[in-house]
Each structure stands twice: as structure tokens, then as C-alpha cells.
Amino acid sequence: MEEPLLGGNTHEQVVRVGSTVRRPTGSWTPGVHALLSHLEQAGFSGAPCIHGVDEEGREILDYIDGEVVHPHHRHLIESDQALAQVAATIRRFHDAVSGFGAGERFAWSDRGGDPSGATEILCHNDLAPWNLIHTLDGRWVFIDWDLAAPGRRSWDLSFALLSLVPLMPDDAPDDRRVAERLAVFVDAYGVADVPADVLTVAVERCEREAELIFLLGEAREPPYDRLLREGHGEIWSSAATYIAARATTWQPALRLR
């Protein structure tokens, strides 16, 4: 029996079949499968395992039993301890993926990719609460890897800061608390390895999200047409302005030792 899985903004036709998830494939699928296999072999437990493709051409992944943080369980990442655990999980991913090697041998999605053309690291590109599960055994697992693509470390980290600290104007706490949360995140990730431009790149990411929604939404390409109607383009555009104005206030927190 197939059970539709709901809750994401950009992924549709995702179903659960027993202990597995079935998802549509695309040109990015061979690279994503190679990436997930590499992460499993590297001992990284923060991603689902891949089990090939079914008879309908859908990829088969482990169903991760637990609570998806967004939208109903955001309290799970409100404590500094939980944020530090998630940041450490992201660091383990970045360490594990460093051995993946030549990502250019695969085609990757351009929907979340770094437009700079950098190939510093293979990014998840959507490290956010809607892709984060707190499992029954206490792990943090990121799902929805189909936006993975090469890019800057700051490109991947900036999205995590946007959504997990968070920095978005409708969700961000006061400046003092944002600074505290930034310090918690960078300490857990490793201060020396957080790029100094990560807040500037966070503004870039907001601008890029808005650009995609306006461009593809106006072209009536799903699901961006729905995101445009729901006002997500304006949300990301406003976030870019807000974060650019606050960045100098928050920046010192990134250099705490």
C-alpha cells in the first residue's frame, strides 16, 4: 500500500511503501545515488540509505521513522543543545562528503545550486527543518537530497543558518539571541571552518530563492507557480533585505572562540 508523504514545498509524488520511500527520479538521480552510497560507506548516519530504483522508475530510500521538525515540531531545535547537535551532524556530512571526489562526472539539479560555479564541496543545498528528522533513536537525519550539487561551503551553511538559527525575519529572535544561536552553531560546527562570508552568502541565497520563484513561477512551472501565488517570492526578497541590514550586528558572533 502506498501512503502519500506530505509537507514539503518543492517535492511532490513522494510516497511511503512499507519501510521505504519512493520518489521521482531525474537527471540528478545517478549523482545523488552515488553520493548517498558514499555517505553510507563513510559511516555517516545523517542521511537515508539508497536501495536503487523500483519497477515504476522511482528511487527507493529508507523510510526514516521520527518527527520532521517543520512545521509541527520546530520546538525540537529550539534548545542550544539541539542546535549544536544538528550543526555537528552537518559538519560530519561535510567531512564525509570531502572524500566523494569529482562531482563533475554527474549531472546535478540547478534548483538549489550555487550559481558561482564553485566546487569547494558537494552541498546538500536544502539543510532546513522541513528536511530534518529527529529519529526514534535520537539521531538527526537530513532527507531530500535531490538538490545536491557542488558549491561553496558557505552556500550550504548559510541556508542552515537561515532556517535553523533562524535568521528569517518572521522567525528570528532578537539580535542578542541570534548572536547566541550563531555562536552555538559555529562552535559545534568548528569556528575555524565556518567561512567569514557566510552571512553575506545568506543574503545571496535569499535573493536566489526569490529569483527562482519569480522566474519559474511566472513560467507556470510547478511547484514554483504555487510558491509564487503563496507569496514565497516576496518572503525571500524581504529576507534578503532584512539580513543584509542585520549582518554587521550578527557578524562578531561568527568569530567567537
Q: Specify the pLDDT at position 257.
A: 46
> What value does the mean pLDDT take over residues 127-146?
97
The answer to whether 228 touches 214, Cβ cutoff 8 Å, is yes
Nearest to 150 by CA among 184, 110, 183: 110
Q: Three cell numbers at 236?
A: 525571500
Residues 180 and 226: their CA atoms lie apart, in Å, by 35
The whole-chain average pLDDT of the chain stands at: 94
Q: Which of 198, 193, 185, 191 is nearest to 84 (CA)?
A: 185
Lowest mean pLDDT among 8-12, 34-38, 56-60, 105-109: 8-12
Q: Across the strands, what pairs with 121?
A: 151
With cut-offs at 50, 70 and 90, classify the pLDDT of residue 13: confident
Q: What is the pLDDT of residues 69-85, one digit of tens each?
A: 999 999 999 999 999 99
pLDDT of residue 7: 57
45/110: higher pLDDT:
45
pLDDT at position 83 is 98
Residue spans of alpha helices (H) in the chain? 29-41, 80-97, 153-164, 175-189, 198-218, 224-229, 232-250
Taking domain 66-255, whether its CATH number is 3.30.70.1290 is answered by no
- pLDDT higher than threshold 70 for residue 46: yes
> For residue 190, which of 235, 128, 254, 114 has the smallest C-alpha distance?
254
Predicted local distance difference test score (pLDDT) of residue 12: 59
pLDDT in tens, 198-207: 999 999 999 9
Q: What is the pLDDT of residues 97-119, one digit of tens each?
A: 999 987 788 999 989 999 999 99
What's the mean pLDDT in 11-16? 79
Nearest alpha-carbon partner for 106 in 198, 157, 31, 2: 31
Mean pLDDT to the nearest integer, 120-136 = 97
- The residue type at 100: F
Digit-coded pLDDT (tens) for 147-169 = 999 999 999 999 999 999 999 99
232 has pLDDT over 60: yes
